[in-house]
Amino acid sequence: MALKILNALIAIIGGIGGAMIIFYILNKLVESVGGKWEDRLKPWAFAGPAILAIGVYLIYPAVVTIQYSFANETSTAYVGFKNYTDILTDSNFLQVLFNNLLWIIIVPAMCVILGLGVATLADRLKPRGEKLSKTIIFLPMAISMVGAATIWRAIYEYQPVGTPQTGLLNAMREWFGRDPVFWYGVEKLHFNSILLMIIFIWTQVGYSMVLLSAAIKAVPEDTVEAGRIDGAGEKRIFFSIILPQVWGTVLTVFITVLIGVMKIFDIVYVTTNGGFNTDVIGRRFYNELFTNGNAGYASAIVVLLMIAIIPVLVYQVRHFRAEEANR
């Protein structure tokens, strides 16, 4: 243990010190060149290490992943489109895609709606009450998905009939004289998936609330006042005056939660491990890579995920460009 801590200390000191020395040396080297080339090379001395990290850990592996997706389990021979045709004709995988689609349809929208609701209502409290309630709603953001899944056992847990129920939902059923239910096994109408989504939404509403709250507070008061003078009710003011002005933030929140949902892994892995028809792309990917040791399949799944993320990516870049233009 002491050795480990020592190791970590060396990593911190070595990492930071090493980085400092590298930048110092790079800078000196570039300065020694002098003249025109100094100006040309200096940006690369400054930005080079970061670009290298991104290249090695994101861009290069992404390209290799595409390559692997056309190869066999051990990535030793090309198999053409076999992985893709296998996946897309596998009814199991189509079900996985459908589950992911459910997450995508339900979760981001719910996060926005709940966040917007809490932000609007908490705005009317006195500052102390507002701060307290917001901190409480915001708190689960700090909790890992594994932690959240553990916490929600207090609500969802199931014990066999005849033994005391330790999960709140099943205890409530018992108070009404009903038999306990193994919630994670209820596949009807994807009820179990929805229970998992609730855990995820619980961790994300705070994020949505904080962003939307800041946006709502930034809405110029005179626009609201003008609406009031024209005789608009609270509802009308919210939907016709406030909402259009915070729409940009609504989109930002939606996109951020959407990305989180598209690659969702932890919650499903910890609670059901993909059983009872709750599987999603992220967990299936892990399963193919690790349990089945099929790098070809796993890569093909990731490539599909990449393709699905392209519209989000395009939006993100456009949004950034528009913001830069306003700067």
Partner 1 sequence: MTTAIQPGTGTPAEDPQILKISKEGENAGKASWAVKIGLSVLCFLWLMPVLGLLINSFRTRDAQFSSGWWSIIKNPFDSTVWTLNNYTQVLGDNASGTNMGKAFINSFIVTVPATVIPILIAAFAAYAFTFMEWRGRDIMFIIIVALLVVPNQVALVPLLKLYGTLGMNNTFAAVWLAHIGFGMPLAVYILRNYMAGLPKAVIESAKIDGASHFTTFWKLIIPMSTPALASFAIFQFLWVWNDLLVALIFLGRGDNTILTVALQGLQGQTGQGRELIPAAGFVTIIVPILVFLSLQRFFIRGMTSGAVKG
Q: Does 276 help bind partner 1 (rule: CB under 8 A)?
A: no
Toward partner 1, which CB reaches closer, 106 or 253?
253
Burial of 91 (0-12, 13-18, 19+ CB in 10 A): exposed
Identified binder of partner 1 from the candidate list 50, 189, 307, 325, rule CB under 8 A: 50
Q: Smaller CB distance to partner 1: residue 31 or 179?
A: 31
Residue 112, Cβ density class (10 Å: 0-12 exposed, 13-18 middle, ≥19 buried) = buried
State which residue, 76 or 91, has the beta carbon closest to partner 1: 76
Name the segment binding partner 1 (CB under 8 A); options: 84-92, 96-104, 127-135, 181-189.
127-135
By the rule CB under 8 A, 29 interacts with partner 1: no
Range 164-223, binding partner 1 (CB under 8 A) = 164-168, 171, 202, 207, 210-211, 213-218, 221
274 vs 282, beta carbon nearer partner 1: 282
- Give the CA distances from residue 81 to residues 63, 288, 296, in Å, rounded to whole numbers and listed in that order: 16, 17, 10
**Which candidate, 296, 307, 194, 203, places its Cα nearest to that of 257?**
203
The tokens 């205890």 sit on which residue? Answer: 171
Q: Is 278 in the site for partner 1 (CB under 8 A)?
A: no
Q: Segment 57-116, which members bind partner 1 (CB under 8 A)?
A: 57-62, 64-65, 68, 75
Judged by CB, which is closer to partner 1: 12, or 226? 12
Nearest to 96 by CA among 275, 310, 258: 275
Indicate the residue among 91 and 260 with the shorter CB distance to partner 1.
260
Please report where in the chains the tokens 């689960």 appear, as a residue.
140
Applying CB under 8 A, which of residues 107, 110, 145, 195 lies at the interface with partner 1? 145
Q: CA torsion, points 76, 82, 86, 89, in degrees to nearest 10?
A: 170
- Tokens for 27? 């800078």
Q: Decide: is 248 part of the binding site for partner 1 (CB under 8 A).
A: yes
* Out of 82, 86, 130, 182, the residue judged to bind partner 1 by CB under 8 A: 130
Pick the binder of partner 1 from 97, 111, 268, 295 (CB under 8 A): 295
Which one of 94-102, 104-112, 148-156, 182-190 is the stretch in contact with partner 1 (CB under 8 A)?
148-156
Does position 286 interact with partner 1 (CB under 8 A)? The reply is yes
The answer to the question of residue 40 lying near partner 1 (CB under 8 A) is yes
Q: Does 284 bind partner 1 (CB under 8 A)?
A: no
